[in-house]
Amino acid sequence: MQSILVPLIDVVWPGILAPEVRERYADAAIVARCASEFAATHRLMVDHAGGRYAITPYAGFLCEDALYKGELLEAYRTAVAGGAEVSVHIHADRAAGEARYSDADFMRASIRARRADLASAGLHTTSYRSGEFGFSAVLADVLVEEGFDIDLSSAPGHADPVNQAFWPAAPRAGHYLADGRLFEIPIGVDGQGNERVRNYMHVEVSDLDNQKRILDSLRAAAGDDLPAVTHALFHSYSSALPAMAERWQRLLDYAAGSGWTLATPAEARAAYDRAA
Protein backbone atom coordinates (compact mmCIF):
# COMPACT_ATOMS: atom_id res chain seq x y z
CA MET A 1 0.00 0.00 0.00
CA GLN A 2 1.06 3.54 -0.69
CA SER A 3 3.02 5.50 1.92
CA ILE A 4 2.56 9.26 1.88
CA LEU A 5 4.86 11.76 3.54
CA VAL A 6 3.79 15.38 3.95
CA PRO A 7 6.98 17.46 4.26
CA LEU A 8 5.98 20.28 6.60
CA ILE A 9 7.72 23.65 6.78
CA ASP A 10 7.03 25.68 9.90
CA VAL A 11 7.75 29.33 9.15
CA VAL A 12 9.17 31.02 12.22
CA TRP A 13 12.43 32.45 13.49
CA PRO A 14 14.89 30.62 15.75
CA GLY A 15 14.99 31.37 19.42
CA ILE A 16 11.44 32.62 19.27
CA LEU A 17 11.18 32.90 23.03
CA ALA A 18 14.56 34.53 23.56
CA PRO A 19 14.08 37.89 25.28
CA GLU A 20 15.86 39.86 22.58
CA VAL A 21 13.54 38.49 19.91
CA ARG A 22 10.49 38.71 22.07
CA GLU A 23 10.88 42.44 22.39
CA ARG A 24 11.04 42.89 18.62
CA TYR A 25 8.70 40.18 17.49
CA ALA A 26 7.30 41.96 14.46
CA ASP A 27 10.44 43.94 13.73
CA ALA A 28 10.72 44.42 9.96
CA ALA A 29 14.27 43.04 9.92
CA ILE A 30 13.16 39.82 11.57
CA VAL A 31 10.24 39.41 9.22
CA ALA A 32 12.54 40.07 6.25
CA ARG A 33 14.92 37.43 7.52
CA CYS A 34 12.04 34.95 7.81
CA ALA A 35 11.11 35.77 4.22
CA SER A 36 14.59 35.14 2.87
CA GLU A 37 14.87 31.90 4.85
CA PHE A 38 11.51 30.79 3.55
CA ALA A 39 12.59 31.58 -0.02
CA ALA A 40 15.67 29.39 0.43
CA THR A 41 13.53 26.64 1.92
CA HIS A 42 11.12 26.84 -0.98
CA ARG A 43 13.93 26.38 -3.51
CA LEU A 44 15.02 23.30 -1.60
CA MET A 45 11.45 21.99 -1.61
CA VAL A 46 11.14 22.50 -5.35
CA ASP A 47 14.36 20.57 -5.93
CA HIS A 48 13.75 17.75 -3.45
CA ALA A 49 9.98 17.47 -3.04
CA GLY A 50 8.71 18.62 -6.40
CA GLY A 51 7.25 21.64 -4.65
CA ARG A 52 4.66 19.48 -2.86
CA TYR A 53 4.68 20.29 0.85
CA ALA A 54 2.82 22.03 3.65
CA ILE A 55 3.62 25.53 4.88
CA THR A 56 2.52 26.38 8.43
CA PRO A 57 3.42 29.99 9.31
CA TYR A 58 3.53 30.81 13.01
CA ALA A 59 0.69 32.93 14.33
CA GLY A 60 0.46 33.64 18.02
CA PHE A 61 0.96 36.15 20.74
CA LEU A 62 4.55 36.93 19.78
CA CYS A 63 3.78 38.28 16.34
CA GLU A 64 0.09 37.80 15.62
CA ASP A 65 -0.15 38.30 11.86
CA ALA A 66 3.43 39.33 11.00
CA LEU A 67 4.10 36.10 9.09
CA TYR A 68 0.75 36.31 7.27
CA LYS A 69 1.50 39.64 5.61
CA GLY A 70 3.44 41.33 2.85
CA GLU A 71 6.33 39.59 1.17
CA LEU A 72 5.79 36.35 3.08
CA LEU A 73 2.22 36.14 1.85
CA GLU A 74 3.50 36.68 -1.68
CA ALA A 75 6.07 33.94 -1.19
CA TYR A 76 3.40 31.51 0.02
CA ARG A 77 1.33 32.36 -3.04
CA THR A 78 4.25 31.50 -5.31
CA ALA A 79 4.80 28.23 -3.44
CA VAL A 80 1.11 27.30 -3.65
CA ALA A 81 1.09 28.07 -7.37
CA GLY A 82 3.93 25.54 -7.62
CA GLY A 83 2.05 22.80 -5.80
CA ALA A 84 2.43 23.55 -2.07
CA GLU A 85 -0.36 24.05 0.46
CA VAL A 86 -0.48 26.61 3.25
CA SER A 87 -2.15 25.67 6.53
CA VAL A 88 -3.34 27.94 9.33
CA HIS A 89 -0.96 27.47 12.28
CA ILE A 90 -2.04 28.92 15.61
CA HIS A 91 0.16 28.89 18.70
CA ALA A 92 -2.23 29.20 21.63
CA ASP A 93 0.18 27.41 23.93
CA ARG A 94 1.51 28.16 27.39
CA ALA A 95 4.04 30.62 26.02
CA ALA A 96 1.13 33.07 25.96
CA GLY A 97 0.60 32.52 29.68
CA GLU A 98 -1.96 29.77 29.50
CA ALA A 99 -2.88 27.40 26.70
CA ARG A 100 -6.18 28.29 25.02
CA TYR A 101 -6.87 25.36 22.72
CA SER A 102 -10.15 24.75 24.58
CA ASP A 103 -11.31 28.36 24.28
CA ALA A 104 -13.71 28.17 21.35
CA ASP A 105 -14.18 31.91 20.91
CA PHE A 106 -10.44 32.61 21.00
CA MET A 107 -9.59 29.80 18.61
CA ARG A 108 -12.37 30.70 16.19
CA ALA A 109 -11.32 34.35 16.11
CA SER A 110 -7.63 33.49 15.67
CA ILE A 111 -8.30 30.99 12.91
CA ARG A 112 -10.68 33.31 11.06
CA ALA A 113 -8.25 36.21 11.21
CA ARG A 114 -5.33 34.26 9.80
CA ARG A 115 -7.49 32.60 7.20
CA ALA A 116 -8.66 36.03 6.11
CA ASP A 117 -5.04 37.10 5.74
CA LEU A 118 -4.40 34.14 3.47
CA ALA A 119 -7.59 34.78 1.52
CA SER A 120 -6.44 38.34 0.86
CA ALA A 121 -3.69 36.79 -1.26
CA GLY A 122 -6.08 34.38 -2.93
CA LEU A 123 -5.03 31.49 -0.70
CA HIS A 124 -7.80 29.23 0.54
CA THR A 125 -7.02 26.44 2.94
CA THR A 126 -8.93 23.75 4.78
CA SER A 127 -5.97 22.45 6.80
CA TYR A 128 -4.86 23.49 10.27
CA ARG A 129 -2.06 22.77 12.76
CA SER A 130 -1.63 23.81 16.40
CA GLY A 131 1.58 24.86 18.09
CA GLU A 132 3.07 22.43 20.63
CA PHE A 133 0.64 19.71 19.50
CA GLY A 134 -2.20 21.35 21.46
CA PHE A 135 -5.71 20.20 20.70
CA SER A 136 -9.16 19.70 22.22
CA ALA A 137 -12.61 18.44 21.35
CA VAL A 138 -13.72 22.08 21.35
CA LEU A 139 -11.07 22.95 18.78
CA ALA A 140 -12.12 20.00 16.61
CA ASP A 141 -15.67 21.36 16.61
CA VAL A 142 -14.47 24.87 15.73
CA LEU A 143 -12.40 23.52 12.84
CA VAL A 144 -15.33 21.56 11.45
CA GLU A 145 -17.69 24.52 11.83
CA GLU A 146 -15.19 26.69 9.99
CA GLY A 147 -14.99 24.24 7.11
CA PHE A 148 -11.62 22.64 7.81
CA ASP A 149 -11.21 18.98 6.97
CA ILE A 150 -7.55 18.31 7.86
CA ASP A 151 -5.63 18.69 11.11
CA LEU A 152 -1.87 18.24 11.56
CA SER A 153 -1.60 18.68 15.35
CA SER A 154 -1.12 15.08 16.49
CA ALA A 155 2.06 13.67 18.02
CA PRO A 156 1.15 10.06 18.82
CA GLY A 157 2.40 9.00 22.25
CA HIS A 158 2.88 12.57 23.42
CA ALA A 159 1.09 14.17 26.36
CA ASP A 160 1.72 17.68 27.66
CA PRO A 161 -1.21 18.88 29.78
CA VAL A 162 0.15 22.41 30.11
CA ASN A 163 -0.12 22.80 26.33
CA GLN A 164 -3.34 20.78 26.13
CA ALA A 165 -1.57 18.14 24.05
CA PHE A 166 -3.02 14.72 24.71
CA TRP A 167 -2.18 12.06 22.16
CA PRO A 168 -1.04 9.05 24.24
CA ALA A 169 -3.01 6.49 22.24
CA ALA A 170 -3.30 8.29 18.90
CA PRO A 171 -2.74 6.16 15.77
CA ARG A 172 0.62 6.59 14.08
CA ALA A 173 -0.79 6.89 10.58
CA GLY A 174 -3.33 9.26 9.05
CA HIS A 175 -6.89 8.63 10.21
CA TYR A 176 -10.19 10.39 10.80
CA LEU A 177 -10.98 12.21 14.06
CA ALA A 178 -14.07 13.91 15.39
CA ASP A 179 -16.63 11.39 14.10
CA GLY A 180 -15.02 11.28 10.71
CA ARG A 181 -15.08 15.02 10.16
CA LEU A 182 -11.36 15.77 10.33
CA PHE A 183 -8.51 13.90 8.68
CA GLU A 184 -5.58 13.78 11.08
CA ILE A 185 -2.02 13.68 9.70
CA PRO A 186 0.30 13.00 12.66
CA ILE A 187 3.95 13.85 12.91
CA GLY A 188 6.04 10.76 12.12
CA VAL A 189 6.80 8.63 15.16
CA ASP A 190 8.40 5.23 15.67
CA GLY A 191 5.92 4.12 18.31
CA GLN A 192 8.70 3.28 20.76
CA GLY A 193 8.54 6.28 23.05
CA ASN A 194 7.83 9.97 23.27
CA GLU A 195 11.22 11.65 23.36
CA ARG A 196 11.40 14.39 20.80
CA VAL A 197 15.09 13.76 20.15
CA ARG A 198 14.63 10.10 19.35
CA ASN A 199 11.08 9.10 18.52
CA TYR A 200 9.63 11.86 16.33
CA MET A 201 10.27 13.30 12.89
CA HIS A 202 11.20 16.72 14.18
CA VAL A 203 14.05 16.76 11.73
CA GLU A 204 16.36 19.27 13.39
CA VAL A 205 16.61 17.44 16.70
CA SER A 206 17.86 14.03 15.60
CA ASP A 207 20.25 12.81 12.94
CA LEU A 208 19.51 11.56 9.45
CA ASP A 209 19.89 7.88 10.26
CA ASN A 210 17.37 8.18 13.06
CA GLN A 211 14.93 9.98 10.81
CA LYS A 212 15.31 7.26 8.18
CA ARG A 213 14.74 4.63 10.86
CA ILE A 214 11.45 6.28 11.90
CA LEU A 215 10.30 6.47 8.27
CA ASP A 216 11.17 2.80 7.73
CA SER A 217 9.29 1.80 10.88
CA LEU A 218 6.19 3.64 9.67
CA ARG A 219 6.32 1.85 6.34
CA ALA A 220 6.79 -1.50 8.04
CA ALA A 221 3.80 -0.86 10.30
CA ALA A 222 1.50 0.26 7.50
CA GLY A 223 -1.50 -1.92 6.81
CA ASP A 224 -2.38 -3.41 3.44
CA ASP A 225 -5.59 -1.54 2.86
CA LEU A 226 -5.02 2.14 3.65
CA PRO A 227 -2.08 4.39 2.81
CA ALA A 228 0.26 5.27 5.67
CA VAL A 229 0.11 9.06 5.93
CA THR A 230 2.50 11.02 8.14
CA HIS A 231 4.35 14.33 8.25
CA ALA A 232 7.92 15.39 8.95
CA LEU A 233 8.58 18.73 10.64
CA PHE A 234 11.28 21.18 9.49
CA HIS A 235 11.59 24.91 10.18
CA SER A 236 12.30 27.59 7.59
CA TYR A 237 15.20 29.07 9.57
CA SER A 238 17.07 25.76 9.37
CA SER A 239 17.57 26.11 5.64
CA ALA A 240 20.15 28.78 6.49
CA LEU A 241 22.21 26.17 8.35
CA PRO A 242 24.06 24.04 5.78
CA ALA A 243 24.14 20.86 7.88
CA MET A 244 20.41 21.12 8.58
CA ALA A 245 19.50 21.90 5.00
CA GLU A 246 21.52 18.90 3.88
CA ARG A 247 19.88 16.60 6.42
CA TRP A 248 16.44 17.67 5.25
CA GLN A 249 17.14 17.30 1.56
CA ARG A 250 18.77 13.92 2.08
CA LEU A 251 15.77 12.78 4.09
CA LEU A 252 13.39 13.90 1.34
CA ASP A 253 15.54 12.14 -1.26
CA TYR A 254 15.60 8.99 0.87
CA ALA A 255 11.83 9.05 1.29
CA ALA A 256 11.23 9.54 -2.43
CA GLY A 257 13.70 6.75 -3.20
CA SER A 258 12.21 4.26 -0.74
CA GLY A 259 8.62 4.25 -1.85
CA TRP A 260 7.15 7.30 -0.18
CA THR A 261 5.01 9.71 -2.15
CA LEU A 262 5.65 13.33 -1.15
CA ALA A 263 2.39 15.23 -1.02
CA THR A 264 0.43 18.12 0.40
CA PRO A 265 -2.10 17.52 3.19
CA ALA A 266 -5.04 17.73 0.76
CA GLU A 267 -3.38 15.29 -1.64
CA ALA A 268 -2.67 12.90 1.22
CA ARG A 269 -6.26 13.01 2.39
CA ALA A 270 -7.57 12.47 -1.13
CA ALA A 271 -5.34 9.41 -1.57
CA TYR A 272 -6.58 8.01 1.74
CA ASP A 273 -10.20 8.60 0.79
CA ARG A 274 -9.71 6.90 -2.57
CA ALA A 275 -8.39 3.79 -0.83
CA ALA A 276 -10.96 3.73 1.98
Q: Give the DSSP letter string of 119-162.
A: HHTT----EEEEGGG---HHHHHHHHHTT--EE----TT-EEGG
Q: Which is nearer to Zn ion, 58 or 272 (CB)?
A: 58
Summary count for the chain: helices (H), strands (E): 9, 12
Interacting stretch for Zn ion, rule CB under 5 A, among 94-102, 125-133, 171-179, 187-195? 125-133
**CB 139, min distance to Zn ion, A:** 15
Interacting stretch for Zn ion, rule CB under 5 A, among 30-38, 50-58, 221-229, 245-253? 50-58
**CB 239, min distance to Zn ion, A:** 16
Residues 6 or more apart whose CB falls under 8 angstroms from that of 185 comprise 6, 150, 151, 152, 154, 174, 229, 230, 231, 265, 268, 269
d(CA 13, CA 274): 37
d(CA 99, CA 82): 35
Q: Is 134 in the site for Zn ion (CB under 5 A)?
A: no
| Pair type for strands 88-91 and 150-151 | unpaired
Q: Which is nearer to Zn ion, 51 or 131 (CB)?
A: 131
Q: How many residues bind Zn ion (CB under 5 A)?
A: 3
Q: Is 131 in the site for Zn ion (CB under 5 A)?
A: yes
Q: Which is nearer to Zn ion, 15 or 259 (CB)?
A: 15
Interacting stretch for Zn ion, rule CB under 5 A, among 77-85, 128-136, 151-159, 203-211? 128-136
Q: Which is nearer to Zn ion, 148 or 237 (CB)?
A: 237
d(CA 192, CA 220): 14
Q: Is 186 in the site for Zn ion (CB under 5 A)?
A: no
Q: Which is nearer to Zn ion, 76 or 260 (CB)?
A: 76
Q: Which residues bind Zn ion (CB under 5 A)?
A: 10, 58, 131
